[in-house]
């Protein structure tokens, strides 16, 4: 029996968040579903507003929509998960057609998901055998941290254990290191204990089941 295959569109907050698309594809693959998420290059348009509706609309035009699935990444920030979820649904509904929607809403920021793997942080920082304490928060504290981006930046600098110009260069490469950490995110690792990750997995499960029921019918 061949694996079911669906088309999709992935819209993220920034280019360093694009590895999330691969993670979503892997989650569906583990449920017997192949999803190919297109990651549109918005620079092909003269200007695309940063609001969700404009980016989804432009993305669908670029990929020649419609698609079966739309995945929208948006950090919860101070708005909270529910408000962000409602915002995404309201933005996608007028332009998304019959596509299923999976919101990706880290609490409070995507960086929170990256603070759970000390080994990966040390590796990305270029000092895998370092012994300096990174001061990483405990898992139950992750989603209540006000600014996980600053915490991750500090942890990476500590992990590198550099001084002078090497330290300055390390700080400037934060976005690159952040993307590398996202590429290494283990969907079976520490994130499974986070409520925001659990909601994402539940949405993926529900979407896969919905497609399964349609195919069975």
Q: How confident is residue 44, by pLDDT bands cut at 50, 70 and 90? A: confident
Residue 65's pLDDT band, with cuts at 50, 70 and 90, is confident
The confidence band for 2, taking pLDDT boundaries of 50, 70 and 90, is low
Rounded CA separation 33/15 (Å): 25
59 shares a domain with 42: yes
pTM of the model: 0.94
194/197 Cα distance (integer angstroms): 5
**Containing structural domain, residue 97:** 4-107+194-216
- d(CA 147, CA 51) in angstroms, rounded, equals 22
Q: Are residues 161 and 77 in the same domain?
A: no
> 129 CB contacts (<8 Å, ≥6 apart)?
122
pLDDT at 4 over 90: no
Within this chain, do residues 98 and 139 fall inside the same structural domain, yes or no? no
């Amino acid at each position: 029996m061949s694996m079911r295959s669906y088309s999709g569109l992935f819209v993220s907050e920034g280019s360093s968040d694009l590895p999330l698309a691969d993670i979503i594809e892997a989650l569906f693959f583990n449920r017997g579903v192949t999803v190919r998420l297109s990651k549109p290059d918005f620079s092909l348009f003269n200007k695309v507003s940063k609001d969700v509706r404009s980016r989804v609309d432009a993305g669908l035009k670029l990929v020649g929509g419609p698609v079966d699935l739309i995945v929208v990444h948006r950090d919860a920030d101070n708005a909270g998960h529910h408000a962000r979820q409602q915002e995404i649904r309201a933005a996608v509904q007028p332009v998304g057609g019959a596509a299923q929607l999976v919101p990706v809403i880290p609490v409070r920021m995507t960086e929170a998901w990256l603070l759970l793997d000390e080994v990966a942080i040390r590796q990305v920082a270029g000092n895998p055998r370092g012994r300096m304490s990174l001061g990483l928060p405990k898992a139950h504290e992750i989603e209540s941290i006000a600014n996980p981006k600053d915490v991750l930046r500090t942890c990476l600098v500590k992990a590198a254990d550099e001084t002078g110009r090497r330290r300055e260069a390390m700080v400037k490469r934060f976005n690159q290191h952040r993307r590398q950490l996202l590429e290494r995110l283990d969907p079976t690792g520490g994130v499974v204990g986070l409520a925001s990750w659990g909601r994402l997995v539940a949405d993926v499960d529900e979407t896969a089941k919905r497609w399964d029921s349609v195919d069975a019918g």
